[in-house]
Chain A
Amino acid sequence: MSKVEPLPREPQTTVARSLPVYEIERLSKTYARNNLTALSDVYLTIHKGEFVSVIGSSGCGKSTLLKIMAGLLPPTTGRVVLDGRPVLGPRPDIGMMFQQATLLPWKTTIENIVLPIEIREGRAAAKAAHVRAMDLLELVGLGEFPNVYPGELSGGMAQRASICRMLVADPAMLLLDEPFSALDEFTRDFMNMEFQRICMERGATAFLVTHSLEEAVILSDRIQVMKARPGRIVEDVRINLRRPRTLEMINTQEFGEIVAHIRELLGKEAHE
């Protein structure tokens, strides 16, 4: 391996440490239907402005964790608190994004983006939010497509529109479940960089589910490594790469070491 200058490590800001947004304790989930323990004894604290990812093989319980955090699924045991209030159902201060863009094909791009406002506050409020939606469209580079139907958007454009929908109600917390994994590799790299920029601009707090190691490392401040049966977090890996991250960092030794470390953690499981 060629010698690469180590990147300067970003000092952790003490302010960020002091403000927990999410507090998750003793969380477990057993699906009653098949008596399957998808999560067991999960502890996780996310601080304001932090970008945390969870990585693990398919079926290890990542989506289950995210759904419980979002208030879409009740836990079997444990505690989930967001901004000091327990999560007992869907909340307006959470913005979500899924693997598919899930834009409604009978609504234009901008109507799709204001959908969360339409559902919560009605049509008039949604109409009033068009201005904000337009700003968001500009932010993700879709400024020319507000009145286009989703059928005419490419996969990457559709996911950018769904980023806007996630952000439109200005949520305190972003929850993303493999948001770019259906995109091709190049679009995905580009979206990751775009998403980093958006998060940095807004000082967003985000929780990302992914099964791509590089995606997790390039975006996150911390990576939760999960293992299956039962789903549990086995290590909290801190990524101290300088921000803004660039795609070139993927080729550095430090990046490679982090990837190798996590791969080893995950690989062990396969042989257990």
Chain B
Amino acid sequence: MTDASRPEVEDTVWEEREALIDRIPRWIAMTFLFVAVVSIWDLVTRMGWVSAIILPTPAETLEDLIFVGGNLIAGEYMVDALWTTTLTVAYGFLIAAGIGFSLGVLVGETKFGERAVMPYLVAIDTMPKVAFAPLFIAWLGFDIGSKVALAAFIATFPIVVATAAGLYAANENERLLFKSMGATRLQTLLRLKLPTGLPYIFTGLKIASVGVMAGAITGEFLGGGRGFGALIRQSASQLDTPRVFALILYLSLLGLALYFTVVWMQRYFVFWNKAEKPGGIG
């Protein structure tokens, strides 16, 4: 308000100040953390505080990263290994998604599934699933099959639980609405419960994408074969720690690729659910 009689009155505009740590832009923050960690790593190894067999220097690791990268780009033996592991992970994930989703629908949609199937699933889920690896190797041999089985076995349960939870997610009013429209059970499942449950199902798939990697690599550690896990074990047994580091880093790219494929699919299929997630990566 303009008031000629009180010319000295000023607006009481003030700024809210954020703490410095909250104001750093993402890329600076990420770079800073990276440089800090690598510097400490470098210091620790250079000063000889930690033996080179336990922790190689950043420079050695970089050297091996370049070597492994070159090997992969040139299409040499490591590509075969990576491809084998990729196939294991892909098959494992698809099998887990198929079985997990089907069991999830059985559990979430039918009382029989909820009453009879779920207790057994919970019982199996509480077991340390990696312990089944020798069995899978005995049943399916040292080839890719036993690794796929272990990977799928580990990744199935989160999908079952997520799918069942997703099917419960439609609220009372939405169910009543479908009932009042005379919707059949199948219509209610396909047009209400499944779409409502999609965000849950994708959360399950994300957890499964992490589990399937762990399962595949564990399978390759224990059952040998021609995958990346076998390469890592081989390097580790030769105490070639820089190589192990480099292999793990490339392996993590495979995990990231799978994870972000799921995230991307979720963005595409669950287009209406744009809830902000901290970090914006999932």
Contact = CB atoms under 8 A, between A and B. Distances in A.
Interface stretch (B12-20, B43-51, B79-87, B177-185): B177-185
A72 B182 CA distance: 10
B40 interface: no
B272 A115 contact: no
A38 B173 CA distance: 19
Contacts of A105: 272-273
B240 to A, nearest CB: 52
B272 A90 contact: no
Contacts of A106: 195, 271-272
Interface string B257-282: 00000000000000111100000000
B183 A119 contact: yes
A104 interface: yes
B273 A120 contact: no
B173 A102 contact: yes
Contacts of B274: 151
B139 to A, nearest CB: 42
With a 10 A CB-CB cut-off, give which of A89, A91, A104, A149 has the most chain B CB atoms.
Answer: A104
Contacts of B182: 89-92, 119-120
A102 B192 CA distance: 11
B272 A72 contact: no
A206 B171 CA distance: 25
A96 B272 contact: no
A115 B181 contact: yes
Contacts of A90: 179-182
Interface residues of B, number: 19
A233 B39 CA distance: 79
A104 B195 contact: yes
Given A99-B173, A100-B173, A102-B173, A94 B192 contact: no
A96 B173 CA distance: 11
B177 A98 contact: yes
Contacts of B177: 96, 98, 102
Given A116-B181, A119-B183, A98 B176 contact: yes
With a 10 A CB-CB cut-off, give which of A98, A119, A149 has the most chain B CB atoms.
Answer: A119
Nearest to B178: A119
Interface in A76-119: 89-92, 94, 96, 98-100, 102, 104-106, 115-116, 119
Contacts of B187: 119
Given A104-B192, A120-B182, A151 B173 contact: no
A151 B178 contact: no
Contacts of A104: 174, 191-192, 195
Contacts of A96: 176-177, 180
- Chain A interface size band reads 20 to 34
B180 A94 contact: yes
B159 to A, nearest CB: 21
A70 interface: yes
Nearest to B270: A106
B272 A149 contact: yes
B272 A70 contact: no
Contacts of B191: 104, 119
Contacts of A72: 176, 179-180
Interface string B182-213: 11000100011001000000000000000000
A67 interface: yes
Nearest to A115: B181
A98 B173 contact: yes
Interface in B108-145: none
A187 B187 CA distance: 34
Nearest to A67: B176
A71 B177 CA distance: 12
Contacts of B183: 119
Interface in B25-64: none
A72 B178 CA distance: 10
With a 10 A CB-CB cut-off, give which of A67, A100, A106, A116 has the most chain B CB atoms.
Answer: A106
Nearest to A151: B272
A120 B173 CA distance: 19
Interface of A: 67, 70-72, 89-92, 94, 96, 98-100, 102, 104-106, 115-116, 119-120, 149, 151
Given A102-B173, A106-B271, 5 more contacts: A89-B182, A100-B171, A100-B173, A104-B174, A116-B181
8 contacts: A70-B180, A96-B180, A102-B177, A105-B272, A106-B195, A116-B181, A119-B183, A120-B182
